[in-house]
Structures are given as C-alpha cells and as structure tokens.
Amino acid sequence: MVLFPKNLFMGIISKMQEYTLLIDAEDSKGLVYNISKVLFANNLNIEKNAEYVDEETKKFFMRTVISGNVNANLLLKEIKEALPDTAQIKLNKNQKKDVVILATKETHVLGDLLIRYSDGELNANIKAVIANHENLRDLVEKFDIPFTCISAEGLSREEHEDKMIAKINEFEPEIIVLAKYMRILTPKFVQEYPKKVLNIHHSFLPAFIGANPYKQAHERGVKIIGATAHYVTDDLDEGPIIAQDVVSVDHSYSWQDMRKAGRNVEKIVLANALSHLLEDKVFVHGNKTVIL
C-alpha cells in the first residue's frame, strides 16, 4: 500500500491557486447571500472574507480570497449575474503585480523598497526605476533592476511627462510608485493612470501640503511629525489616503533632524501602503479609501 505523505499533500494544498474577489456596489439586502451562494455552488473555499458597509453613502465593499477549482471567466460571469448591474466586480489571480518606481535623488524610500524586494518581501515585479536625475543609477543597478534617467532639463513640463509616459508604458505597470519623485504631475499624467499612482508625502496630511513640509512643521513647532501614502489625483496632496504614521519630536529638533526622523516614517508608511495595493486590499470610496 502506498500512503500519500501528509506533508506533500499539505504542500499541494497550500500551492492551490488563490483568487481575490473584489466587489464595490450599492448596498442592498441579499448581497452577501447572493455572492456566497455562487461561491458555495462552485464548491470554493473562502480563505479570507471582509465586508464593509458605509452607513453614510450606503456603499457595500467586499474582499474575498477564494481557492479551489476556479474557472475565473465562468465564475465572474455567474457573480455578475447574481448582483445588480451597477456593481463593480473584479476577480484577480493572486500573483505578483508589475510595478514601476519613479524617483528623483533621495535614497531612503527607494532603497528600502529595493531591500524588501531583494528579500522577497514584496509581492511584485519591479520592472524599472525611472528618475529625473542620474544619482540613483548606481544603487538601482546594484539590484539588477533597469534604471532610466529622463532629465527634465531644457524640457517643458509636458515634454518631460510625455517622455516619462512613453517610458513607463513600455513596462505596462499595474502600479506606479512615486518614491520621493519630486516633480508635480499634470492632470494629463494623473488621468493616464487612474487609481494606479501611489505617492508618499512627507507630512501628516492635510497638515503641510506642498513644498518643504519639514520646514513648515519646524516653523509651526509641532510635537509630532508624520508621513502619508496616498493615491495621486489632480489636486496636489489631496488624493485618497491609504496609510499614515507619525513620530514624536521636540523643540531640540532642527528641521533637518525632523527630516531625518521623518525618513523612517516615510519608508514604513509607503511600504505598508504598497503592500496593501499588492494584496488588492484598497478600495477607493470618493476621496477616501476602504481597506479590507
């Protein structure tokens, strides 16, 4: 008799392809029932499930990780049929997402992403780093990631962005991370990549919008500084917030000391927000986010 070794079996189970089902709909009675009926009828496992109903706007959000013998097209069709026409439904295979990083000169956020990436911590393929200066080439190439410098010198904002967009599109990224990319984006750029561009702002938004937030914070004499990761929209530093964190400071901090302390927050906040995006946890809800 040949026994099926338990550990091997566990290994197979754990490798079963997972999918994430994302639903964004007007709330109504029976939504959970109708969705769970389809999943049950398809004999699927619910690995994780989270829902949220916003009482003010009556919007329903659901994120469900499923596994089993999934025929994605068919399943998606059945779920669409079970829900109102206005519902937005996505069924994503759980796999690495393609990411392009934009940067300028600063090392700490980009470097942190590169270390995490080399450590296998990010569920991503970093396809390229594109910067408007040469400074970071050496660091990026250490990690065998393509680096492109597109200098803005002598170019109008629009000309520079056109070159950036052309280069970015070569890599067809699902997420674009601004890792301290210090240029203001035009509406054209933003609209090219809706809900795809993640920025880290070095303040606890909405405090200190705009340039030099650490100088502003120092000037105001705050006792806590922070950082904010948010989707980029047309309004500078006004997009939906995904993650924030803070650190205490005191009167003895110069603005440079604040910047140094803030760097630790910036890199952690951006990495946490990116991790949420890579795991399909973030819904945009008006100018806010719902994270399930």
On the 0-12 / 13-18 / 19+ scale of CB atoms within 10 A, 74 is exposed
Residues classed as catalytic: 237
Instruction: Note whether 265 and 245 are within 8 A (CB).
Output: yes
Measure the CA–CA gap between 96 and 124, rounded to whole angstroms.
Answer: 4
Q: Which residues pair with 53 in a beta bridge?
A: 60
Q: Give me the residues that bind a second copy (CB under 8 A), please.
A: 29-30, 32-33, 36-37, 39-40, 43-56, 107-108, 111-112, 114-116, 118-119, 121, 139, 142-143, 204-208, 220-224, 226, 240-246, 248, 250-252, 254, 260, 263-264, 268, 271, 285-291
Measure the CA–CA gap between 288 and 231, rounded to whole angstroms.
Answer: 10
Q: Which amino acid is at 13?
A: I
**Nearer Cβ to a second copy (47/162):** 47
**Nearer Cβ to a second copy (14/86):** 14
CB of 10 to a second copy, least distance (A): 12
CB of 25 to a second copy, least distance (A): 13
On the 0-12 / 13-18 / 19+ scale of CB atoms within 10 A, 199 is buried
Measure the CA–CA gap between 156 and 152, rounded to whole angstroms.
Answer: 8
Instruction: Note whether 121 and 274 are within 8 A (CB).
Output: no
CB of 220 to a second copy, least distance (A): 6
**Nearer Cβ to a second copy (48/96):** 48
CB of 190 to a second copy, least distance (A): 18
Which three-class secondary structure state does DSSP give residue 29?
Answer: coil
**Nearer Cβ to a second copy (140/150):** 140
CB of 95 to a second copy, least distance (A): 19
Q: Which amino acid is at 62?
A: M
Tokens (6 digits) for 64: 């469900």
**Nearer Cβ to a second copy (111/173):** 111
